[in-house]
Amino acid sequence: MGKVKTFELVLADNKSVYHPGDLVTGKCVIELKNEIRFRTIRVYIRGVAKVHWTESRSTGTRLGAYTEHFNSEVEYFNQRQLLYGNDESKADLSVLPEGKFQFTFIFELPYEGISTSFEGKHGNIRYWLKAEIDKPWSFNYKTKKAFTVISPIDINKPIYQGPVENSVEKSLCCCFCRSGTISIDARTDRKGYCPGESIMLWAEFDNQSNRTVIPYASLHQIQTFLARGKSRIRVSKFTSLTGWSAGWHSQSVWDGLLMKIPVIPPTVANCFVIRVEYFIKIALHIPGSSNLCMLLPITIGTTPYRRNPVSGWMNE
């Protein structure tokens, strides 16, 4: 870097994770091998959600196909602070001699309207700091420091405490004759969970057909990316369980079956261009027919479950 030996941003207490409303404090450290002349030293803080994907399009002619780009962006904040120098005059130059210097900075994150950091196939939600030494007649010196923002979701709030339930059924036919009805009734113990906790499942599988069916459950994540009125969806499966089969004209029951939640990102519901949602899929594998499926939407939060959550939350 020429005359600059060290140029870095150091966050206070080596902190890397913040919440809305937190103060982002730290210092810009510069170590010089020789005297340097410059206009200003500034530090910036920025938060942005970006989406991008491409789709192939046919022209319908001999010209062949072309690629269409879909982009969208939401800027949560973009602030700057002057650390050293004259911000009003581009003609006046500042000088720092050889040595090591530290300049402190402080920013306050917005209390509302910012989403949890996220990295996806077609988009991301990122937060970072950037420092810049503005040099005349030369390239500026720059350094960046990324950090993580977690937008809290307290699953102890009453909205996340009720169960999620659903039911579904279908009739099977064989050679134009009705074979019987198959149904699923299922529910969870609550709607909100955190990674490391277990989802408790109750389900009743009623098989009045002439086929043996196999119940299973799985935890899925849906990433939805939005741009220019269109969407791109990506579904991932994390955990799955398989139960005992239910024979002809019989029932199978799950009485509090536990599904452990792995380390996964929290739900993102407050971003205009990216959504991250979760659901439990409960299904029956039916030989010779399409599977019977139902979905139970859940929320992955950031504040773990506590006993007597309603009274505890109301007293906060």
The answer to whether 264 and 237 are in contact (CB under 8 A) is: no
Tokens matching residue 149: 């923002």
Cβ atoms < 10 Å from Cβ of 38: 19
Distances (CA, A) of 305 to 116, 149, 218, 260, 265: 19, 21, 21, 14, 16
Q: How would residue 308 be classed by pLDDT, with cut points 50, 70 and 90? A: low
pTM: 0.88
For residue 57, the model assigns a pLDDT of 80
For residue 288, the model assigns a pLDDT of 85
Domains of the chain and any CATH numbers:
4-149 (2.60.40.640), 158-314 (2.60.40.640)
> Taking 70 as the threshold, does the pLDDT of residue 74 lie above it?
yes
**Residue range 44-67, pLDDT digits in tens:** 999 999 999 998 887 666 666 888
Lowest mean pLDDT among 94-98, 194-198, 306-310: 306-310
**Residue range 163-217, pLDDT digits in tens:** 999 999 998 766 555 568 999 999 999 999 999 999 999 999 999 988 899 999 9
The answer to whether 205 and 311 are in contact (CB under 8 A) is: no
